Amino acid sequence: RGPQGSIVLQGGKSTAVPAVPTKAVDTNGAGDMFAGAFLYGITHGMSPAQAAALANRAAAAVVSQHGNRLTTAQTQAICADFLKA
């Protein structure tokens, strides 16, 4: 869904999770980053909507640069910023 964010379906209920505005430079890795961040959130006690919000942030970060990976420092900053919000 890209700039439209994501939709979480759970128990017959759908929740729209807004995208993080970014300028996409290279979309390689966006889906993998979203999936990995979402699964990280779910396995660390986040609700599906919270995990999707984290995943949206991580995917936005990876598409804003060339290449399909984030550094450890970038990943840690995304998580730290997310937990503060």
pLDDT, tens only, 23-55: 999 999 999 999 999 999 999 999 999 999 999
pLDDT of residue 1: 82
Q: Among candidates 42, 35, 83, which has minimal Cα distance to 58?
A: 35
Query: In the predicted model, what is the mean pLDDT of residues 7-33?
Result: 93
Question: 48-63 and 72-84 helices cross at what angle (nearest 10)?
Answer: 140
pLDDT of residue 79: 86
pLDDT of residue 84: 83
pLDDT of residue 38: 96
pTM of this prediction exceeds 0.75 = yes
Secondary structure of residue 29 in the 3-state scheme: coil
Phi, psi of 19 (to 5 degrees): -75, 165
Paired with 8 in beta bridges are 15
Q: Among candidates 3, 14, 75, which has minimal Cα distance to 41?
A: 75
